[in-house]
Amino acid sequence: MEHTRIKELLKSEDFGKEVIVKGWVRTFRNNQFIAINDGSTINNIQAVIDFDNTSDAILKRITTGAAVRVKGNLVESMGKGQKVEIKATDVSIIGDSDPEKYPLQPKKHSLEFLREIAHLRFRTGTFNAIFKVRNALAFAVNKFFQERDFVYMHTPIITGSDAEGAGEMFRVTTLDLNNIPRTENGEIDFKEDFFGKSTNLTVSGQLEGELAALAFGNIYTFGPTFRAENSNTTRHLAEFWMIEPEMAFYELEDNMDLAEDLLKYVIRYALEQCPEEIEFLNNRLLEEEKSKPQNERSELNLIEKLNFVINNDFERVTYTEAIEILLRSKPNQKKQFKYLIENWGADLQSEHERFLVEKHFKKPVILTDYPREIKSFYMKQNPVDANGRQTVRAMDILFPGIGEMVGGSQREENLEKLITRMGEVGIPTEEMEWFLDTRRFGSVPHSGFGVGFERLVLFTTGMTNIRDVIPFPRTPNNAEF
């Protein structure tokens, strides 16, 4: 490899040294100054052309998007905002880019337009910054758990179980849709399908994670999960990555501590590893908000918001306390909520969560002990309280601008209670004997949670549409590239 990456060159002080750089032209000004980017950093290096030794034929081919090789000497830059530049002695074209056809022009493109050319948007500063932050967050997730001796488990993507109950599922099949095999009774004969039964894409690795936690103690998953829901919102994807730790002997408080530690750790890591990228995104957001009326702008800028989260305790509130706050709240009293809170037991809507997080507490909030009826069958049941209310040891972490970042709970470890609850909500136990075995043989208190990774990236980058923080988003009617 004869060339040096631009990230290294921009940090170098070896003035006079001969270097070779390879990258793509971002701009070419005055037939003299090439801004070159090789993806290693959001910053470009400037190469100054040696007129006498560069042919017109080459000059014409230095166009936005073209790949070039530049040899020259590293010199101190006279320009603003850059320490070094290259005094070029030799420029050659590696790959041309027809400026009439290249969709990325040296001007601001809308995020909507860039979504349509997602295969090229990585070549912009904004998306370079977003995916560098995403990369840092992903590594931080693994680093956090490895430092705590958690075992990374790859739970299955294709699942024969449809009892996870977390949402609509995608079918996985090799049956010929033009010639579906039938049993004698005329039903679809899934025995002929690849796995000999009906299979789907997983909505969560939790149940398999529990199996592993009750052997290894502490485990985590980090992999893709799927929801076949027709949600065309800025916060939903049909395919997204989820982090799901599961811990034996953890009770709800331990679970909340771990989740809070994780979120602070990974955001701090991104701030440390990607200071330039986050500053770039901070400025992008300030610029974007300039077009908004004053009262709709954020009180804190992106960097202030990230620092606020890592330096302050999350607010821990029970569902029951939250309902009291909401009942007394101005938007409820003045009937400004679309869904008015009328009594205990109501499911919280996005508007209520936002009120609690953004208006009332002004910080991340951990809501606990939800009514049993609005939560999943596997959550540990609290004793019925003096008012006859039945809650479960759930905990959701709500973030400003994002809503639910984490959903988790202590799990019901009592076999009888679990079977009874499954019966009540209509989950057949026969298909779940493997799951019930964890409560049958050496059952212990345990807990876990799931973090939507793209929501974490959304928060940390200050972006507002989840389609901009995953390389190739999958949403209803969209599976391009």
Burial 279-313 (b: 16+ CB within 10 A, else e): ebbbebbeeeeeeeeeeeebeeebbebbeebeeee
The identity of residue 292, as a single letter, is K
Ranges within 159-218 binding a copy of itself (CB under 8 A):
159-161, 168, 170-175, 177-178, 180, 188, 194-197, 199, 201, 208, 211-212, 214-218
Asked if 369 contacts 320 with a C-beta cutoff of 8 angstroms, the reply is yes
The tokens for 339 are 């869904």
Closest CA to 263 of 412, 402, 463: 402
Task: Considering the complex, state which of residue 27 and residue 350 has its C-beta at the smaller distance from a copy of itself.
Answer: 27
- Rule CB under 8 A: is residue 376 a binding residue for a copy of itself? no
What gap in Å lies between CA 208 and CA 206, rounded to an integer?
Answer: 5
Does position 135 bind a copy of itself by CB under 8 A? yes
409 is a contact residue toward a copy of itself (CB under 8 A): no
- Under the criterion CB under 8 A, does residue 260 sit at the interface with a copy of itself? no
CB of 199 to a copy of itself, least distance (A): 5
Nearest distance from C-beta of residue 383 to a copy of itself, angstroms: 19
Question: Minimum CB separation from a copy of itself for residue 323, in Å?
Answer: 31
Using the minimum distance from each CB to a copy of itself, give the nearer residue, 101 or 290. Answer: 101
- Pattern 426-445, binding to a copy of itself, x per CB under 8 A? --------xx-xxxxxxxxx
Instruction: Please report, as residue ranges, which positions from 24 to 43 form the binding site for a copy of itself (by CB under 8 A).
Output: 24-25, 38-40
For a copy of itself, the binding residues in 65-94 under the rule CB under 8 A are 65-67, 94
Give the Cα separation of 137 and 133 in Å (integer): 6
Q: Report the candidate in 316, 367, 154 with the shortest Cα–Cα distance to residue 244.
A: 154
Applying CB under 8 A, does 60 fall inside the site for a copy of itself?
no
Contacts of 291 (CB under 8 A, 6+ apart): none
- Based on the shown chain and the rule CB under 8 A, indicate whether residue 15 belongs to the binding site for a copy of itself: no
Q: Which stretch binds a copy of itself (CB under 8 A): 61-69, 303-311, 317-325, 344-352?
A: 61-69
- Rounded CA gap, 36 and 46, in Å? 6
Residues 209-248, mask of contacts with a copy of itself (x by CB under 8 A): --xx-xxxxx----xx-x-x-x-------xx-x------x
Q: Give the Cβ contact number of residue 441 at 10 Å.
A: 9
